[in-house]
Amino acid sequence: DAGVTQSPTHLIKTRGQQVTLRCSPKSGHDTVSWYQQALGQGPQFIFQYYEEEERQRGNFPDRFSGHQFPNYSSELNVNALLLGDSALYLCASSWGTGNEQFFGPGTRLTVL
């Protein structure tokens, strides 16, 4: 049983560029959440997708957007990258909202 997978593992971009990160949930899960983790900090909730719609959103600007596909996989898009967007981006999946979260290995984004 494959767990949560994310791609790519590492990414280097320059300021002003756009980036797309991808996530495939654990088998049987229908809900995907995205988190940003800065060095030395706990993960911060970005948003959650269920039934292809954004259900909850954290305190992140509109530069952060997402999508969920019919197969429950998800993308996180960040536009107009800033240096401060450099972080580990984590995807988590669950069966419905409020249930046990299973995390992927993360994508390390570096903005130069």
Partner 1 sequence: KQEVTQIPAALSVPEGENLVLNCSFTDSAIYNLQWFRQDPGKGLTSLLLIQSSQREQTSGRLNASLDKSSGRSTLYIAASQPGDSATYLCAVWDGATNKLIFGTGTLLAVQP
- Asked if 50 interacts with partner 1 (CB under 8 A), we say no
Return the number of the residue (13 or 108) whose C-beta is nearest partner 1: 108
- Asked if 40 interacts with partner 1 (CB under 8 A), we say yes
Which residues are within 8 A (CB) of 80 and not within 5 positions of it... i.e. 6 or more apart?
16, 18, 63
The residue within the footprint of partner 1, chosen from 24, 31, 33, 74 (CB under 8 A), is: 33
- Asked if 90 interacts with partner 1 (CB under 8 A), we say yes
Tell me the CA distances in angstroms from 101 to 18, 43, 63, 96, 107, one per residue in order.
28, 13, 25, 10, 17
Question: Which window, 12-20, 70-78, 79-87, 93-101, contacts partner 1 (CB under 8 A)?
Answer: 93-101
Report angle CA 86, 21, 6 to the nearest 5 degrees.
Answer: 105
DSSP 96: S
Binding site for partner 1 (CB under 8 A): 4, 6, 33, 40-45, 48, 55-56, 58, 88, 90, 92, 97-106, 108
